[in-house]
Amino acid sequence: MEIVRSQRRTPAAADVALTLPLYRSAPELQIRLEDFELFAVDRLRVLKGISDGLSRGKKPDEVETLVRDLWKSNMSQPQASEVINKDIISHFVLRLVYCRTEELRKWFLSMETTLFRYRFRLKSSEVQRALMAEFDLPYKAVSNAEFENVKEKLGQVADSIGPKKKSMPNADTIFYKVPFEEVPELVAGRRVFLLKGYAYVAMNQVSSLVVTRFRSHLSKALVLTNRKWTSTIREREADRLTPIVESLSTSYLGPDYSQPREFAEISLKDIDQVAKSSFPLCMRHLFEKLREDHHLKHGGRMQFGLFLKGVGLKLDDALAFWKAEFSRKIGAERFDKEYAYGIRHNYGKEGKRTDYTPYSCQKIISSTPGVGDHHGCPFRHFSEENLRAALGKMGVGNRPMEDVMDKVRNRHYQLACTLTFEAVHGSSCDAGINHPNQYFIDSQKILQKVIPFIIFQDPWSNFPHGDYGKIGQMLTMSSSSIYFDMDLTLCRIIPHCRGAVRQGKGVFSEMTSRVLVIFAVAMLDPTCVQAGRL
């Protein structure tokens, strides 16, 4: 893609661009290098948002709303002409980014086609007809005489796919005769009337025609772009555009986790505990392998070390942690000589003093672990047998495990991690998991959420043995504080702790809404109260 000075369009072309660009040729526009990347990142947010919505099984009307909201929040500009330019430029930049492999092309083609489909559906009938003309589709509207001949059949099809009053065709309804092979999704869904090899496509179904043509054009264009990229552009732009293009497909678009955030600060003594409760599977696996082998290769050290930095492990604690493990295999002196520098470097204390950022899910998923490596994404790189074993060890039940495996088979690795999070924590994660450090923080927010209330110091002295329901009702009647005219002790309910502390005089459980309150009484330790969300 060449970046040159802007040229004016003809009025007709401008009118079409104002509705929905067709991206037939690279734009002749002047653009700053910063905008080249920023525009692409904004469009990538839209495409990844669509991808996440589809993988979560959103319905067509929900996807339509999602597309509208994503476009508004990411692609808006002060002037209409600037919106057009950003739309066109961002598409062609990402076309360069995603033309480079078959896997990248497939994803980009699918997401751009989906984006185009819903943007087209949101346009008026007049705009849709104008776009059909731009595609030069060789279809003519069915004449009134022919319409009367097939009206009854069209009505039967319309009645089968929607409310009768809204879907029945009338004299004002426009139909096109189209070779049936050009509208496979309509034929497969039995949403058109077929006669002598032609499908009768209503105006409100015409998006299928346009989208099919758009997808075909873009598919061919991606292959051609790849040829240009490999033959000339990559080498010619080696010092300018190539680094941007090659990094964008694995770009992380979420919050910065290079510095510890809320609920993200751990010390050396905390690691074993939080590894079991709050590490995502990729980091939990690295932690376990480090404990087992007392060593990790470079890729594993980088992935795990930067994660620990991001969750708040201080440099001194990090050095002590890695040294304690590695020294058991190679000795303290060799560790100081060969590995300590790398840890200090990750914390920005050596070399160029760069403050390195923890790896995102996208970067981890795109890595290629070799023999003896343990980094990467378990949902992508583990065998099914090993993944099932690892999930079972985390406490994922049979039913959610099958849901996770289904997402893995469809290569929705981040969604598989999201479902794992939900299964382990018993809490929804609507935003999805996009970063290991996000997983940790969200986990800690759940586990550290404290609901204070007042309980009897010794309720068993005030209630008959076994009268658990009455105690449970009193304990769960408020999310703040409960007061009794007796000797009181302030205790805490910590959500999401599983299992009861069996200590003292007894244990009871009371179901209230979705919360199972498990109460344990101890004469000398009245603070033994835990709660777990079902």
Report pLDDT digits (tens) over 495-525: 333 333 333 333 333 333 233 333 333 323 3
pLDDT at residue 310 in the model: 92
99 is in an annotated binding site: no
- Kindly state whether residue 257 falls inside one of the protein's structural domains: no
Query: How far from chain centre, in Å, is Cα 129?
Result: 35
More confident residue, 189 or 66: 66
Residues 111 and 50 placed together within one structural domain of the fold: yes
How far apart (Å, rounded) are the C-alpha atoms in residues 160 and 162? 6
**Average pLDDT for 197-215:** 85
Summarize the confidence of residues 432-454 as an average pLDDT.
Answer: 79
Look at the chain and report how many structural domains it folds into.
4
Domain-embedded: residue 2: no
Ligand-binding annotation for 528, yes or no, is no
- Reported as half-sphere exposure (CB side, CA atoms, 13 A), residue 248 has a value of 30
Residue 261: inside a domain: no
d(CA 68, CA 61): 11
| Region 356-372 average pLDDT | 91
Looking at the DSSP assignment, which residues form a beta bridge with residue 480? none
Q: How confident is the model at residue 342 (pLDDT cuts 50, 70, 90)?
A: very high
- Based on the fold, state whether residues 276 and 375 are members of the same structural domain: yes
pLDDT of 395-413, one tens digit each?
999 999 999 999 999 999 9
**CA angle in degrees (0–180, nearest 5) for 311-315-319:** 110
Mean pLDDT estimate for the chain: 79
Question: What is the pLDDT at residue 172?
Answer: 54
Q: What is the mean pLDDT of residues 358-383?
A: 94
Give the least confident one: 51-65, 307-321, 334-348, 369-383: 51-65
Domain residues for the domain of 18 are 11-122+213-248
Q: Is the same domain home to 141 and 195?
A: yes
Residue 20 and residue 114 in one domain: yes
Report if residue 288 sits inside a domain.
yes
Residue 303 in any domain: the answer is yes
Q: Quick one: 200 and 222 in the same domain?
A: no
User: Does residue 237 fall inside a structural domain?
Assistant: yes
Residue 4: what pLDDT? Answer: 34
33-55 and 102-121 helices cross at what angle (nearest 10)? 80
CA 340 to chain centre: 35
Q: Which of 129-133, 168-172, 273-277 has the lowest mean pLDDT?
A: 168-172
**SS3 call for 529:** strand
Domain final residue, candidates 390, 424, 444: 444
Query: 263 near 445, Cβ under 8 Å?
Result: yes
In a domain, 6, yes or no: no
Are 103 and 172 contained in the same domain?
no
For residue range 247-272, list pLDDT tens digits in order: 888 777 777 777 766 665 788 998 99
For the stretch 13-22, pLDDT in tens is: 445 445 688 8
Q: What SS3 class is residue 455? A: strand
> Whole-angstrom Cα distance, residue 272 to residue 464?
41
Task: Kindly give the residue spans of alpha helices, DSSP state H, lying in 101-195.
Answer: 102-121, 125-134, 144-161, 164-167, 184-188
Which positions ≥6 away from 340 have C-beta within 8 Å?
A: 319, 322, 323
pTM, two decimal places:
0.63
Q: For residue 10, what pLDDT band results from cuts at 50, 70 and 90?
A: very low
- Token pair 């997401």 is found at 111
Q: Which of 394, 421, 444 is the last residue of a domain?
A: 444
The pLDDT score that the predictor gives to residue 355 is 77
Same domain, residue pair 104 and 223: yes
- The answer to which of 35-49, 87-101, 305-319, 504-518 has the lowest mean pLDDT is 504-518
The count of C-alpha atoms lying within 13 angstroms of the C-alpha of 427, restricted to the half-sphere facing its C-beta, is 17
Same domain, residue pair 197 and 219: no
Residue 489 and residue 349 share a domain: no
State yes or no: 417 annotated in a binding site: yes
Regarding whether 384 and 529 lie in a shared domain, the answer is no
* Token pair 């440099």 in the structure block, residue: 315
pLDDT of residue 503: 32
End residue of a domain, out of 421, 444, 467: 444
Based on the domain organization, do 116 and 234 belong to the same domain?
Answer: yes
Annotated binding residue at 377? yes
340 vs 358: CA distance, rounded Å: 18
If asked whether residues 173 and 274 sit together in one domain, one would say no
For residue 162, the model assigns a pLDDT of 61
Give the span between the Cα atoms of 271 and 287, in whole angstroms: 9
Residue 180 lies in a domain: yes
Query: Per-residue confidence at 209, pLDDT binned at 50, 70, 90?
Result: confident
pLDDT at 88: 94
Say which amino acid occupies 522. A
CA 413/CA 432 separation, integer angstroms: 11
Task: Kindly state the tokens that stand for 223.
Answer: 């292959």
Question: Residue 15: what pLDDT?
Answer: 53
pLDDT above 60 (res 191): yes
Alpha carbon distance 437, 427 (integer Å): 17
